[in-house]
Structure 1
Amino acid sequence: MSAPSQFILEPIVVDRIRELCDPSAPWFRSLWTVGTVTALLEVVESVNATWDNVLTNDGAMADFKKNAMSLVKGDLGLGSEVVREKLRLIIIKLKPESTNEGRTALAELEQFITRCRLPYLENWASAIESGQVADQQFESMCRSLASHLLDDGLHPKHLVGWIDKRRGSLNAVELIREAKLLANAQMKTYEFAVPFVKMSREVRNSLDKGHLMAVADFEALYYSCENSVKSGPLVSAPQCVLKVSFQAKDPHSALDSVREWAKRVASRAALATASLGVNLNDQVVEIGAKKIWALADQDLLRVPSILRENAVDAIDDSAQSKQLDDALAMLAPHLQSTAGVSAATLWAACEGLLGRVQSNGHSVADRLADVVACSFIREELFELVKRWRQETRGSSGPDIRHGTTFEQMTVMVDHIVSSGDPGFKRPEEQAAVARIHELATSSAPTVKRVRAYLQTAFRRLYYQRNFVMHSAKFDSVSLSMTSRIAPRLVAAGLDQIVNAHFRSGSVPPLGLAARAAIELDLVGQPGGKHIATLLS
């Protein structure tokens, strides 16, 4: 048995897991993948859908199998190398046609998933302790652990708060072992009082009386909450208050269920009365804990190029501009949509810009993945340059006081390759330096892996859209994960497309995607561009 790597035991590991879970982290440092257990469940779902002719071809099944086998290979949370190889061979036996061998393999896979769930985190802790985790596995390990915890029903904000209380006092092994209790916790019932400041009498009269709470009782409950002073007084007296309960592992997850339910209430009322006559108060009360929560979803999408290029009120009658406007209009409904509607509108925005006549969804997903892969490298470097400007002291480290932004990013990369971390204070930048070092020194395989991550994320969005639009399936095993992962990645792609439209001689979306594919193919090859300037 080897000693664990000191790097793997450093606080940077805990901080990186936290960053991956943090919904406020920039998209290029966030989590793009589902956990391995969820990936295996996607295989089961796609196989059944293929065999039952719910899907018209085996494309989804092939993609999910490929992704799962890639994750299984290096995921020490599943167990020993022998166990992982056994799992891989079972997946290989699954074919598009339903056979006795295939049905046996599917039953074995389902049992394997059950077998892997409970000891997953302990397996990782033991692997670190026994020295099985090398420094270069740092990023993949953090992604595996963060995605497993999130997929297990824990809310990102709850996980971040939980980690914050333990930062500085626990190393990676200790954190993982404590996280076992969190992940294996039983579901709890959370009851909320949800005030509506506007609801027509017609709608109010149709409500289940068992759900109603007297307005006076709600106001008394509100002002009895410990955080009522911080939350401030009720701006408007509600016309109606409904009580609703949800099962969840933490209050943030329960609050997400309240948001989803409230959107459905508003949609049903609008359809029933042909009017937008339902408005919610932004604050709801968790009844048992006597705590006020903000209902508004703060995790909104951003396409900053719209502001950078002064395009908010731009008027352009060209066909390309109208195409872009329509895509942005389809992206906007995501902000108020349920997960299924979000998948459909997000994909419509992608397909409207990057689709060709008779081209399939794979092609659209892969084009967008190439654009976002180039953007990822640039954004990661730009963030390091910006942070270094803020942290620069004396003459140590790279001198980025002069030159264009791209020249400064090139200087930063060259310094990281030759001298390592210049001395960033925050663990977020220290982890980013490790990623940039790998991109610069092992460019071709690292870029290939980044492209694969993004292709899988966008293809998953395509398949979720197909489940919703063509199979009326709103309960896919990874729909909620897709809703967490895909929106900001799509927004990042559209940001690049907006930038190219206004700044780069009006390069069309398909032209930008073609350029991105060319440059990514040439990374690390003779004639390839510096990684800081792929789309410049």
Structure 2
Amino acid sequence: MASETSANVYDSHVRARMIDFFTLEGVPWPRRLWDVGSLLALQELLEASSWARHRVLSPAAVDWQRHQLLKVIGPDIGLGDRELRAELTSLLGQPLLHPSPAHRRLREVLEHARGGYLGRWATAGAQPEGGRPRPERLARVVAAHLLDLGYDASYLGAWIGQLARRQASVEEVLQGAVTLDAAGPSEFVVLAALTSVPEQEQAERHENWLSGREVVNWLSGNNHSTSGIRVGGGFLYRVSARDPFSAASQVRELVERMVARSSFVRGNRGGIRPASWMWVGGHPDPIPFAVRARGAGVLSLLKEGRLYQVDAELTLIDDALELAAPVSRGAVGPAVAGAWAAIESLLCHPDDPPEGERSGKAAAADRLAAIIACSWPRAELTALARRHQPRTPDALAEKIAARTTSRAKASAVAETLTAGAALVLVDRFLRDADVAAVHRMRRVLAEPKKELAAAVSVLRIAMRRLYRSRNIVLHGGSTQGPVLKAALRVAAPLVGAGLDRITHAGFVERLAPLDLAARAEVGLKLVGGETGLSVVDLLEPRP
């Protein structure tokens, strides 16, 4: 049985949440990372100003982004407490046209902020109990910063997993993060083998080309197994990256560009086909070529038995699901464009105001954020209902067993937590993460309006970031840059969650997406008030 008051609860909370944030497959969307770090957000603002100059983004969109950043940097300890913060606040309080003196100054200030950013958080995390940041906040900041630097989630997951196995303290975790921050990129040699090489004479003229025999020799010389290797050749690249997985990711993108080009070759018979694995010099194991899923799940398709029902009369929701399909595994450009096309098709209306804070298509981002925020407590409480497993059934276990719907089970957990009782969380692999979820839900149940408003703010920023990314892809013709990849990394599971709720409402209630958004927006205003609206029922029809 897990104790929520154990001496190391702070340490275990931070470690558990960082494991959540670095585990890209198998972690449900409510426990994923919902935002990028402050430094990348500031870099994003600089880039957005440049795109506004080229009329890819509107000045209103950039101003909204700037105003939101003013709120974000307030509680960010890593951005200093005197001169640095004052300069940032001053610059974000004025338009940042590109080029302009303010734009150039912000670029310089950003470089000053980078140097000691994690060090400042490490200092705060080492304070005595009561003076430290909330563990949830600390874990999110450190995880986002390391991912934004370019470290691969698999590499970071192995790092924090090792620390968790020996129950490292927060101070050890933070010092390790500072070391990773200071390490800088290294040079890696990456082999990408091809099983199909059309127009091979062109490949052979490339300086990085290896023949099939040379591929096998390289693998043998680097202590990799050659059993079953049947390739037509490959490319050996030298890249600068933070870790082997990140290096492989860079090379994967290069090969995917080759594959895309080969699709335009006349008489193409499958084009260039990469092998199933890539190999990095000095790394002991091959790395899969296939891209890991980004976590955009629409579980209602299974729960409502609709996975194979594609021959009925199609709706906007069916079209949206098809548009958004690339978001989970597709290339960055199609994934961003398709995800936003789905959102816009469902949650925009001709009567949306053309100007103002919620002008144009941005209203769709805000509506989706409201739907996702209203889904969050129910999803977490339902998961906790499954995790409550006392050896001898207690009153809560009996309630959960007796109730037949996920809503009723979630309500039982909410009632227990509101009464101050503890859950019995025995799964040793998920226990610390579940305890962290209990802490989050206690805060939501105690102050639902405040906590949900904070969640909506973060989700709105993520969805509007996706919208800006879509404009950069479609109107700027660019699929490059760390901000675009980070935007998709954050948005994909959230888009899946929003589409899941929209799909459920459409199948079960025949409720239009805009009506569901209206229900969510009203629920956020009324929750915990005179109507008795519970956090479990925010998206439910009123009885």
Q: Structure 2 matches for 1:133-282, cutoff 5 A?
A: 137-167=134-164, 168-200=166-198, 202=199, 205=202, 208-222=205-219, 228=225, 233-234=227-228, 237-273=230-266, 275=268, 276-282=270-276
Partner of 1:439: 444
Q: Per-residue displacement from partner, 1:339-394 (whole Å, max 9, x unpaired)?
A: 23321121112112222236422111011111111222221111111111xx2222
Provide the residue aligned with 1:314 in structure 2.
309
Deviation at 1:335, TM superposition (A): 4.8
Identity %: 26
Matched residue type, 1:491: G
Instruction: Check the 8 A contact 1:283/1:292 in 2, yes or no.
Output: yes
Task: Point out the more displaced range, 403-412 or 144-153.
Answer: 403-412
Q: Which amino acid aligns with 1:394?
A: T
Q: How does 1:295-334 map to 2 (within 5 A)?
A: 295-300=289-294, 301-315=296-310, 317-318=312-313, 321-334=314-327
> What amino acid is aligned across from residue 363 of structure 2 in structure 1?
S
1:467-486 matches, cutoff 5 A: 467-476=472-481, 478-486=483-491
Change in CA separation of 1:225 and 1:402 when aligned onto 2, cut-off 3 Å:
farther
- In the superposition, relative to structure 1, how do residues 118 and 518 fare at CA in structure 2: closer, same or farther (>3 Å)? same
Segments of 5+ residues of structure 2 without an aligned counterpart are 1-5, 353-359
Counterparts of 1:136 and 1:398, CA distance in 2: 32
Provide the secondary structure at the position in 2 that maps to 1:393: coil
Q: Does 1:454 align with 2:459?
A: yes
What SS is found at the alignment partner of 1:209? coil
Q: Are the equivalent residues in 2 in contact too, given 1:153–1:248 (CA < 8 A)?
A: yes
How many Å separate the matches in 2 of 1:163 and 1:146?
A: 10
Within 2, Cα distance between the matches of 1:501 and 1:258? 41
Listed as ranges, the gaps of 5+ residues in structure 1 are none
**CA–CA distance in structure 2, aligned partners of residues 474 and 266 of structure 1:** 16
Partner of residue 356, structure 1: 349
| Cross-structure match for 1:496 | 501
Contact 1:221 1:290 in 2 (8 A): no
- For residue 292 of structure 1, the aligned residue among 276, 282, 286 is 286
Contact 2:278 2:286 in 1 (8 A): yes
| Distance across 2 between alignment mates of 1:421 and 1:273 | 66
Q: Which residue in 1 is equivalent to 2:371?
A: 371
Aligned-partner Cα distance in 2 for 1:128–1:152:
21
Alpha-carbon RMSD across the aligned residues, in angstroms, is 2.6
Match of 2:336 in 1: 343
Deviates more, 1:261-270 or 1:84-93: 84-93
- 2: CA distance between counterparts of 1:134 and 1:416? 26
- 1:84 is matched with 85
SS in 1 for 2:306: coil
- Aligned-pair distance for 1:71? 1.7
Q: Distance in 2 between matches of 1:522 and 1:259?
A: 48
User: CA shift at 1:89, angstroms?
Assistant: 2.6
Q: Classify 1:204/1:357 alpha carbon distance in 2 versus 1 (closer, same or farther; 3 Å).
A: farther
The aligned amino acid for 2:28 is: P
Question: C-alpha displacement at 1:274, in angstroms?
Answer: 5.3
TM-score (norm 2): 0.88
Deviation string, structure 1 residues 452-482 (Cα, Å, up to 9, x no partner): 1111101000001111211233335511211
2:470 is matched with: 465
Q: Which whole-Å CA distance do the structure 1 matches of 2:48 and 2:271 have between them?
A: 40
Q: Displacement of 1:49 after TM fit?
A: 3.5
Distance of aligned partners of 1:423 and 1:268 in 2 relative to their CA distance in 1, 3 Å threshold: same
**Distance in 2 (alpha carbons) for counterparts of 1:86 and 1:416:** 43
Query: Are the counterparts in 1 of residues 362 and 464 from structure 2 also a CA contact under 8 Å?
Result: yes
The residue number in structure 2 matching 1:126 is 123
Does the 8 A contact of 2:51 with 2:57 survive in 1? no
Which residue of 2 is the match for residue 422 of structure 1?
423
1:298 partner SS: coil
Counterpart of 2:169, as a letter, is N
Which residue of 1 is the match for residue 66 of structure 2?
A: 65
CA distance in structure 2 between the partners assigned to 1:396 and 1:40 by the alignment: 50
CA distance in 2, matches of 1:337, 1:295: 13
Residues 194, 94 of structure 1: CA spacing in aligned structure 2 closer, same or farther, 3 A cutoff?
same
Q: Any idea what SS the aligned residue of 1:31 has?
A: coil
Q: Is the 8 A contact 2:291 2:329 kept in 1?
A: no
Give the distance between the partners of 2:180 and 2:223, measured in 1 at CA.
Answer: 26
Do the aligned partners of residues 531 and 289 (structure 1) sit closer, same or farther apart at CA in structure 2, a change above 3 Å counting?
closer
Q: 1:173 to 1:328 in 2, by over 3 A?
A: same
Match of 1:385 in 2: 385
Post-superposition offset of 1:21: 2.3
Q: Which amino acid aligns with 1:508?
A: A
Partner of 1:36: 38
The residue matched to 1:118 in structure 2 has which SS?
helix
Amino acid at match of 2:391: R
**C-alpha contact (below 8 Å) 1:12/1:431 kept by paired residues:** yes
TM-score normalised by L of structure 1: 0.89
SS in 2 for 1:195: strand
Residues 125/396 of structure 1: CA separation in 2 closer, same or farther (3 Å cut)? farther
CA deviation after TM superposition for structure 1 residue 533, in Å: 1.9
The answer as to whether partners of 1:330 and 1:349 remain within 8 angstroms in 2 is yes
Equivalent residues of 2:190, 2:280 under 8 A apart: yes
| CA apart distance, 1:251 | 0.8
Question: 2:292 is matched by which residue type in structure 1?
Answer: Q
1:525 maps to a residue whose letter is G
- Residue 198 of structure 1 aligns to which amino acid in structure 2? S
Cα separation, 2, equivalents of 1:17 and 1:394: 32
The match for 1:532 among 519, 532, 536 is: 536
How far did 1:203 drift?
5.4
Quick one: distance in 2 between partners of 1:56 and 1:287?
41
Please name the residue that 1:94 is paired with.
Answer: 95
Which amino acid in the other structure matches residue 148 of structure 2? D
Return the offset for 1:270. 0.7
Match in the other structure for 2:20: 19
